[in-house]
Structures are given as C-alpha cells and as structure tokens.
Amino acid sequence: SVRPGVGIEVTREPVGVVGIITPWNFPIAIPAWKIAPALAYGNTVVFKPAELVPGCAWAIVDILHRAGLPKGVLNLVMGKGSVVGQAMLDSPDVTAQTFTGSVATGKRVAAACVEHMRKFQLEMGGKNPLVVLDDADLAVAVDCAVNGAFFSTGQRCTASSRLIVTEGIHDRFVAAVTEKLKGLVVDDALKAGTHIGPVVDPNQLAQDQDYVEIGRKEGATLAFGGERLNRETPGFYLQPALFTEATNAMRISREEIFGPVASVIRVKDYDEALQLANDTPFGLSSGICTTSLKYSTHFRRNAEAGMVMVNLPTAGVDFHVPFGGRKGSSFGSREQGRYAAEFFTTVKIAYTAAG
C-alpha cells in the first residue's frame, strides 16, 4: 500500500454455484471446457445439456463421478430449456451462469441474469466471413472454404457461411469449390469415407431447406446442391448448398443458418471485402486467404471479430487460448485457457494493518 504499515492482498475466490447450459453441436467439448475450469477454480456446477444429446452429458458426469468427484459438486439436470433451463435462471442459489446457444435464447438468459444481478457469460451465433483475395493460393482458399463452411455439416458457430471473393479470382474459386463439393460424400458419419454427416434433426433440416428456398427467392444463384438425400442409414441428409451472385443484404448472408449452406459474394477489391466482412451483427470469427503480408496484417488489425484466421478455415480453434467474439456473438469474459479465471472466479482485496 502507499500507506505505511498497511499490507494489501489480492486473491481470487470461486464465484459459487455455476449454471452451465450447453448446445448439441459439440456435446462433449463445450461442456468440458466449461465444467473443467468451473470445478478447477473451486465452484459447484449445475449442468443442463441440450435436449438432443442427453447420452453425452450423462457420460461426462458419470466419468467424473467414477473418478472420485464428491456428490453434489457436479449436478446434471435434463429437460426442456423452457422448463429446466428457466428454473436454473430463476433460482437464487445460482451465482453465475454460462451459456452457449442461439442469440434469441442468449438474450433471455441475459435478461434473467440481470434481474438477479448475476454474473453471466454468453457464446452465441456467427455469420463468419472468409475473404479470398486475387493473390490467394487457390488450393488453400478452396480447402479453407469447404472445411469452414461445410464440414461438421455446417453446424458450427464459427462456420464460414459468407465467402467474400474479389473479382480476379472469383470464377476460378467458384469452379474449384463446386468441383470439390461434387467429390464430397454425404452419408452416415460413422461410415468410412464419409465427409459430411446428417444434420441433427428434422427441424434443423427444415430450416436449412427453408434458407435454400429463401436464397433462390432473393435472387442468388444456387450453383450446387441444396437437395435432401436418402441414404441406407436413416438420417437427415442434405447436399451441401453453394450460392453465387449473393449480396450482403440477403437473408442468406445475414442470418445464421447453422447448416451446410454458404453464399459467395463478389467484390471488386480488398477495401470492399473488409467493409462487407465487418457489415454483420455478429463478430465471432473472420478469415482471409492471401499471400500478401500487407493485407493479412491489415485484416488482422481491422476485422471486427474476436478471432481472425489467415489462410485457415474460420472454424477450428486451440483449447488453450481464449475463445469468443464481439457484437451479437458473445458477451462477457472469454472462455478457455487462463482467461477462464475471469468468469469462474471473483477478485477479493484485503487491506491489513498491525493491530
């Protein structure tokens, strides 16, 4: 202290009881990167997984209990979000709430937490751009686009569903992506040789198909795919859909689809590409394919996103570094790595003088 004889101690303490609500698309990874730091920093947990993936949630909790975790430290609750999730949000015993899911639900979580003056953390949607410049390595750009937009069946908040391409490489890029899509196998995800599995359920399939129709009506050109497929293994299979001649004002370019659907937006130069990349209510991940150090450096500094990828897919992160975005994609402190301490602990400062 600046005062003689006064000592100061700054410590972090557990926040208390942490509510954890997770989605279905990464039913092991997302719960793990929330539960692990919550427990490591000394909290207890109430964990509600998405209704579509109860088995994965049960397995995580069972493994931790069999490993010796005391009863009552990690508590699994399952059911509808409108019932079980709401009960968590209404409980005065929950002192912090972390949520990953849709923007609409995230806003309801935020409102409930503010009502209770509760600490909260939100990870929500994305409409992530991948900018492809004339000087890009075409093979690298195609791999980044196909991986980012269509792998995991496009069911990732970091999926690159907006492909913003400059004029000089546009036609070659579209032709190469289309050719790549023709060779991808859509089938049972557990079958050898499959590249793209089914979408999660009939509701998601219907939503994906609705957006394909919306894109057509808006005037974009469906260059490839968009048809439902039948396979030997029952499931909700959709041929990956690629739109061209899209604009950034179209719904398919502004709203998160959460399926294997991407739109190509033609631009004249880097400046227009950057402007459109940032023209979105989201700000999770943003990517660029270029061999120019000048443009890659400028993009890294000026992309309005929490994560920036250079010559890499917009989807795919390391777990030891912080994860999160801006705007409507995220709220609160970052997840993962050392940054998890910001959410799962609270700071206490103690001043002491000799008695």
Q: What is the DSSP string of 309-349?
A: EESS-SS---TTS-B--EETTEESSPBSGGGGHHHHEEEEE
Task: Give the torsion sign (CA, 32, 38, 41, 45).
Answer: negative
DSSP alpha helix (H) spans, the chain: 29-40, 54-66, 86-90, 103-115, 138-150, 167-182, 202-218, 251-254, 270-278, 293-302, 341-344
Torsion of CA 78, 84, 86, 89, to 10 degrees: -60
Instruction: Please report the pLDDT score of residue 77 as a whole number.
Output: 98
CATH: 2.120.10.60, 3.30.365.10, 3.40.50.620, 3.40.309.10. Which one for 129-310? 3.40.309.10
Percent of all residues in the chain with a pLDDT value above 70, rounded to a whole number? 100
DSSP state of 270: H
The pTM of this model reads 0.94
DSSP state of 230: -
Q: How many residues does the chain have?
A: 355
Tokens of 246: 């899209």
Instruction: Please report the pLDDT score of residue 71 as a whole number.
Output: 94
Instruction: Please report the pLDDT score of residue 355 as a whole number.
Output: 81
- In whole angstroms, what is the distance from residue 348 CA to residue 258 CA? 41
Residue indicated by tokens 């005391």:
70
Question: How much is the mean pLDDT over the chain?
Answer: 98
Q: Which residues are annotated as catalytic?
A: 123
User: Which residues partner with 97 through β-bridges?
Assistant: 19, 120
- In whole angstroms, what is the distance from residue 187 CA to residue 196 CA? 6
pLDDT in tens, 29-53: 999 999 999 999 999 999 999 999 9
Residue 163 has pLDDT above 90, yes or no: yes
DSSP state of 87: H
Average pLDDT over residues 226-235: 96
| Those residues with Cβ within 8 angstroms of residue 304's Cβ, 6 or more apart along the chain or in another chain | 277, 278, 283, 286, 326, 327
Give the β-pairing of 345-353 and 261-267: unpaired
Average pLDDT over residues 265-271: 99
Instruction: Please report the pLDDT score of residue 221 as a whole number.
Output: 98
Contact between residue 135 and residue 290 where contact means Cβ atoms under 8 Å apart: yes
Percent of all residues in the chain with a pLDDT value above 90, rounded to a whole number? 99
Domain coordinates in residue numbering, the chain: 6-124+329-353, 129-310
CATH: 3.40.605.10, 2.40.30.10, 3.40.50.970, 3.40.190.10. Which one for 6-124+329-353? 3.40.605.10
DSSP state of 276: H
Cα Rg of the chain, angstroms: 22
Q: Inter-axis angle of helices 54-66 and 29-40, to 10 degrees?
A: 30
Residue 304 has pLDDT above 90, yes or no: yes
pLDDT in tens, 195-218: 999 999 999 999 999 999 999 999
